[in-house]
């Protein structure tokens, strides 16, 4: 593929991205974010609320992807990572990075189409990896704050305050992500959503098993009645015990996970070292057609082995 064709492909991708970027909603950004924050995860029909009339209709070109729930999962990951951006903007970034990766490999390196597609896929996957990293860190921070928030809720209930008042104290005392998520719960209750339903939506935004215990406890207390302060106290103890066991499992599997990382990266490191110290050893792999095919197969097998090892060593609770 020559330079002109590469520039044409990149210009096409960039033009498509600009066209998607111009299809923005007319609602101001802050109003759009507040509306999405209050209604995210809520499945309301037009008869139940007029808020759905202001929500942006799904584009016809993306209907098929929405049927697969692929974009819905990406949107949930964005919100769980604390990144409040439009899904179209995220898709624009992915498409532009894919085009930039393909064009860069064609212009600067071997020019092989398969390698170019792999380079474009890696570049397009970078935002996804970043979102997953942000999501994991945010959920971990929320889980670390949760036991202390439960203690504060218990103290507020024992002092004679209501659960709503206890949540207001939690919002005042805790920073994001826990403070921001409970603030969203309070705002949802102010616009008429029942507390139990708002907590279920909180569980959708923060899919933590420890938080699920709190939601179940509040729902049971609302239906049958019981001492919620005592339940939250026991729940706080359970959450701390679970987190302690998870930390122990993580420590016990640290050596195996590190061994998997070393085994997965060792072929790449050795190939790079031989390429620098003794280029004649690797000349066939990079210039001979059979060597190039072997190198592609080796890259695929090494990536598959890395994924399998990581999957086997992932602790399950």
> CB of 82 within 8 A of CB of 176?
yes
| 67 phi/psi in degrees, rounded to 5 | -65, -30
Given this model, what pLDDT does residue 171 score?
A: 92
> CB of 132 within 8 A of CB of 50?
no
CA pair distance 157, 163, nearest whole angstrom: 7
> CB of 210 within 8 A of CB of 239?
yes
pLDDT tens for each residue of 234-265: 989 998 998 898 888 888 888 877 887 887 78
Would you list the domain boundaries of the chain?
3-137, 140-252, 254-312
pTM higher than 0.75? no
Given this model, what pLDDT does residue 142 score?
A: 92
| 46 phi/psi in degrees, rounded to 5 | -70, -25
Query: In which element (H, E) is residue 135 found?
Result: helix 113-158
The pLDDT mean for the chain works out to 78
CA pair distance 52, 129, nearest whole angstrom: 31
CA pair distance 47, 203, nearest whole angstrom: 25
CA pair distance 274, 295, nearest whole angstrom: 14
Specify the CATH number for 140-252; select among 1.20.81, 3.30.1910, 2.60.40, 1.10.287: 1.20.81
User: DSSP letters of 205-224?
Assistant: HS--HHHHHHHHHHHHHHHH
Residues with Cβ < 8 Å from 106, sequence gap 6 or more? Answer: 1, 6, 116
pLDDT tens for each residue of 77-114: 888 888 888 888 888 888 888 888 888 877 776 667 77
pLDDT means per 10 residues, the chain with 317 residues, are 53 57 47 56 42 44 58 83 84 87 76 78 90 92 92 90 90 90 91 88 87 87 80 90 87 81 83 85 82 84 81 69
Own/partner contacts of 73-80, CB < 8 Å, gap of 24 or more, are: 74/131, 76/41, 76/204, 76/205, 77/131, 77/132, 77/135, 78/131, 79/40, 79/205, 80/135, 80/138, 80/139, 80/205, 80/206, 80/207
Q: Which 8-state DSSP code applies to residue 57?
A: P
The structure tokens listed for 108 are 């600067």
């Amino acid at each position: 593929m020559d330079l002109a064709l590469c520039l044409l492909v990149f210009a096409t991708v960039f033009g498509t991205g600009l066209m998607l970027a111009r299809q923005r909603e007319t609602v101001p950004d802050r109003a759009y974010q507040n509306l999405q924050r209050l209604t995210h995860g809520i499945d309301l029909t037009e008869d139940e609320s007029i808020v759905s009339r202001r929500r942006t209709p799904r584009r016809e070109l993306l209907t098929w992807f929405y049927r697969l729930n692929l974009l819905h999962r990406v949107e949930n990951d964005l919100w769980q990572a604390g990144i409040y951006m439009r899904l179209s903007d995220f898709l624009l970034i992915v498409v532009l990075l894919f085009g930039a990766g393909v064009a860069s490999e064609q212009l600067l390196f071997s020019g092989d189409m398969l390698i170019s597609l792999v380079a474009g896929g890696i570049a397009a996957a970078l935002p996804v990896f970043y979102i997953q990293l942000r999501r994991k860190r945010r959920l971990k921070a929320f889980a670390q704050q949760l036991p202390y928030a439960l203690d504060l809720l218990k103290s507020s209930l024992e002092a004679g305050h209501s659960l709503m008042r206890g949540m207001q104290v939690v919002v005042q005392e805790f920073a994001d992500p826990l403070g921001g998520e409970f603030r969203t719960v309070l705002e949802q209750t102010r616009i008429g959503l029942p507390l139990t339903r708002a907590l279920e939506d909180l569980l959708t935004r923060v899919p933590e098993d420890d938080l699920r215990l709190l939601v179940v406890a509040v729902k049971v207390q609302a239906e049958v009645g019981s001492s919620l302060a005592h339940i939250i106290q026991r729940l706080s103890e359970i959450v701390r015990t679970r987190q302690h066991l998870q930390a122990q499992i993580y420590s016990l599997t640290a050596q195996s996970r590190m061994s998997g990382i070393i085994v997965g990266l060792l072929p790449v490191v050795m190939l790079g070292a031989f390429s620098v110290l003794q280029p004649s050893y690797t000349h066939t792999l990079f210039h001979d057609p059979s060597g190039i095919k072997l190198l592609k197969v080796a890259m695929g097998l090494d990536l598959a082995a890395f994924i399998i090892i990581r999957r086997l060593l992932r602790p399950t609770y």
